[in-house]
């Protein structure tokens, strides 16, 4: 068996240009040349920094030490005190004479620290991670694999409503970012970190748990105007440590229905761990909007899916015993698509989630009472939902919305279709409940109830005329994602002349344009009919 590196080499030294104690002012602790030494004494792996003109030595236990890159030759080395608060007991700013020396030191640091983190160590390990305690391993693996791929990052970057709104929210509020420390929670490609750096941030810590962290490092390194002010840290916000508090938290933690993927919990955990008391969060507030809808086409489409299981002679096999289960399964899928806002049968209501105040545990169960007044006489097929978020900057307040009728985003909207529609009259009250319960697959189980109260003579005595319920798994939606269907009404005004598109627009919109061309004959035919 090959011997451990620590047994092969008991000590390793590196020359440094300077070492400065972070706990004292620069004048009280002037920088001077020093020597960094890795050593293993009585089974304890240590890193020591000894200044050449002083007898003082900074000693770090590698089992609890962390290294943060500030530039190509400058780093911060910190060590926590192993208390419940996981605060830092000491730290030093170190500087090398060349990039080659700094790289060799970093490689050695990782190797020696790897050997220090042996099983049974008192250091907090990944197995004790708060994230791992509440999220099942298989879900987390698929989640980080998905976001570790460039094609999915491109999908989000090409959502110009999303990316453009973030850029505007940051650049219009430069005063919030200039000279400030920023933490980018779930940095992905690092695009928001670079926005913050463009706005004048003093330093940005880009925290990313997936393999996308390596791509982010490469992208940031290729933009030298920002590279020295952005540090990419690979890890979960629940586990990593930072050398300083943040003035600003920026993140894109929103999922379908705002809360899907449960990243909002990590967002508020980062707030509690890293943000200074008077810090700001971008985004600041989220709202879930809800309204009952009527869509006969969608309802029939959902119901028809299960008809396959009504065949009594499918190659000699009777499939009907599974029809009920199939029907229930299809109606347990929330529908993700873009729909025409004229399908809504009542003015929407909303539920507010303040990211600056919410506790992590508040996301485990969300209960929303529903109350609407129908605007039309129709059949209600379910509940439509979308969300928006507010960037509450000191200079400009900007909203990012996913509402129907607004420019479509990669979130689209979501609709919970009830297997049993309810009938309502204009002016009739619709009540109900939307109940979300988080589960370990990084999503939610949705329980929806819609009821129509008695209408007309005798309504003052109350009573429920009809009620319908449904259970949905937000983790398993039906990605319909069609563009809003045009109404076949002939009295619609003619479309205005279309502006000429440049080549970039044609390339971006080609998929939607082809879909419109394919749908156009059918729409014309229905109008004539």
Cite the active site residues.
Answer: 252, 261
Helix (H, G, I), strand (E, B) or coil at 60: strand
Q: How far apart are CA 164 and CA 74, in angstroms?
A: 33
Q: Pairing mode, if any, of strands 65-69 and 34-41?
A: unpaired
The CB-based long-range contact list for 357-364 (8 Å cut-off, 24+ gap) reads 358/264, 358/268, 359/268, 360/265, 360/268, 360/269, 360/272, 363/259, 363/262, 363/264, 363/265, 363/268, 363/438, 364/437, 364/438
End-to-end CA distance of the chain: 82
Q: How far apart are CA 510 and CA 500, in angstroms?
A: 14
Report residue 472 as tokens.
Answer: 């949905």
The CB-based long-range contact list for 137-145 (8 Å cut-off, 24+ gap) reads 139/440, 139/441, 139/442, 140/442, 143/261, 143/442, 144/209, 144/210, 144/211, 145/210
Q: How far apart are CA 455 and CA 377, in angstroms?
A: 12
Cα 136 to the center of its chain, rounded Å: 18
Q: Between the CA of residue 398 and those of 8, 29, 257, 354, 361, what are the distances in Å?
A: 59, 44, 20, 15, 28
């Amino acid at each position: 068996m090959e011997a451990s590196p620590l047994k092969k080499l008991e000590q390793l030294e590196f020359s440094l240009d300077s070492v400065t104690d972070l706990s004292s002012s620069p004048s009280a602790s002037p920088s001077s040349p020093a020597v960094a030494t890795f050593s293993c004494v009585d089974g304890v792996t240590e890193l020591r920094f000894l200044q050449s003109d002083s007898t003082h030595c900074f000693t770090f236990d590698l089992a609890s030490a962390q290294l943060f890159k500030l530039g190509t030759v400058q780093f911060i080395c910190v060590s926590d005190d192993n208390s419940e608060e996981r605060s830092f007991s000491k730290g030093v700013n170190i500087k090398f004479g060349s990039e080659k020396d700094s790289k060799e030191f970093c490689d050695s640091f990782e190797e020696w620290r790897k050997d220090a983190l042996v099983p049974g160590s008192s250091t907090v390990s990944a197995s004790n991670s708060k994230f791992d305690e509440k999220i099942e391993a298989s879900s987390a693996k698929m989640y980080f694999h998905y976001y570790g791929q460039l094609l999915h990052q491109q999908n989000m970057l090409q959502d110009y409503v999303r990316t453009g709104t973030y850029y505007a929210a940051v650049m219009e509020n430069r005063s919030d970012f200039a000279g400030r420390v920023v933490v980018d929670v779930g940095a992905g490609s690092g695009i928001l970190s670079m926005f913050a750096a463009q706005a004048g941030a003093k330093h940005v810590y880009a925290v990313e748990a997936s393999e996308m962290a390596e791509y982010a490092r490469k992208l940031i390194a290729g933009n030298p105007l920002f590279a020295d002010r952005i540090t990419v840290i690979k890890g979960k916000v629940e586990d990593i440590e930072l050398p300083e508090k943040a003035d600003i938290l920026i993140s894109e933690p929103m999922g379908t229905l705002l809360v899907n993927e449960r990243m909002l919990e990590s967002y508020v955990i980062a707030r509690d761990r890293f943000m200074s008391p008077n810090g700001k969060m971008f985004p600041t507030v989220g709202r879930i909007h809800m309204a009952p809808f009527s869509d006969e086409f969608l309802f029939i489409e959902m119901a028809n899916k299960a008809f396959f299981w009504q065949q009594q002679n499918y190659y000699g096999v009777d499939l009907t015993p599974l029809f009920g289960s199939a029907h229930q399964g299809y109606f347990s899928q929330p529908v993700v698509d873009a729909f025409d806002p004229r399908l809504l049968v009542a003015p929407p209501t909303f539920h507010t989630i303040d990211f600056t105040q919410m506790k992590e545990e508040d996301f485990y169960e969300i209960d929303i009472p529903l109350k609407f007044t129908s605007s039309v006489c129709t059949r209600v097929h379910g509940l439509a939902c979308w969300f928006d978020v507010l960037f509450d900057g000191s200079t400009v307040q900007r909203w990012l919305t996913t509402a129907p009728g607004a420019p479509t985003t990669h979130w689209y909207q979501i609709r919970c279709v009830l297997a049993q529609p309810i009938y309502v009259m204009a002016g009739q009250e619709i009540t109900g409940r939307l109940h979300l319960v988080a589960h370990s697959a990084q999503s939610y189980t949705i329980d929806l109830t819609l009821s129509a109260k008695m209408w007309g003579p005798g309504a003052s005595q109350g009573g429920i005329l009809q009620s319908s319920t449904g259970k949905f798994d937000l983790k398993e939606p039906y990605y319909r994602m069609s563009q809003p269907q045009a109404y076949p009404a002939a009295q619609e005004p003619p479309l205005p002349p279309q502006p000429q598109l440049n080549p970039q627009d044609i390339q971006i919109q080609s998929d939607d344009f082809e879909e419109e061309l394919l749908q156009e004959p059918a729409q014309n035919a229905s109008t004539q009919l």
